[in-house]
Amino acid sequence: MPKVRVAGFSVSLDGFSAGIEQSLNDPLGKRGTEIFQWFFRTKSFRTMHGQEGGAVDTDDDFAHKAMGNFGAFILGRNMFGPVRGPWLDRSWKGWWGDNPPYHAPTFVLTNHEREPLVMEGGTTFYFVTGGIEEALKLAKTAAGDKDVKIGGGVSTVRQYLRGGMIDALHLAVAPVVLGQGEALFRDLDLPALGFSVTGHQATEHATHIVLEKTAS
């Protein structure tokens, strides 16, 4: 049965999944890249960006799974880019260039309408103004018998967790303390939401933890 998943989502030891002051120069916020070093070094990441090389190891296995079997993606507007308010300048097409790594319908949460944006490689961005439930309904329809990935950012993942709409989480806990940033777990009770740890594996660069919603 298709699932709604969060996968390859990095978090610091002190619970932050993005740094402060996101900007064009710091899309993950200040120091945010530090919690993704496990990912950047992998063959999967380099292949996604048209590069050669990269590590083939446990981190790479998790990185590969974090983009596998997804038929649709959901992103918050902050994840799509730094532009705020109405889409006055429509030249912005995301952080990823002409060929984003999604290769599937990708639904962007926003308060401002914008026509769909067709990119190379099979990615089309659809801008959804009806909220998280509408976006999930559209994504499930688009995904068919594949999973839907809640791609981030932090606020979007938290909204879907609070709404009880996520079935599984793969978190990559990086050996980094940020001190401040966007807190993933603030005021969230994962056991009360039905989650328990079903797997974990540590590498030199991250501890990979899988949580799944257990049957009530």
Q: How many domains does the chain have?
A: 1
C-alpha dihedral sign at 168, 174, 177, 180: negative
In 58-147, alpha helices (H): 58-65, 77-80, 132-143
Distance CA 19, CA 121 (A): 30
**CATH number of the domain residue 40 falls in:** 3.40.430.10
Look up the pTM and report it. Answer: 0.94
Strand (E) or helix (H) holding 199: strand 195-202
Which residues are within 8 A (CB) of 202 and not within 5 positions of it... i.e. 6 or more apart? Answer: 208
- Please report whether residue 99 resides in a domain: no
Domain that holds residue 108: 4-19+29-83+104-211
The pLDDT tens digits for 175-214 are 999 999 999 999 999 999 999 999 999 999 999 999 999 7
Count CB neighbours of 83 within 10 A: 17
At 53-76, the pLDDT tens digits run 999 999 999 999 999 999 999 999
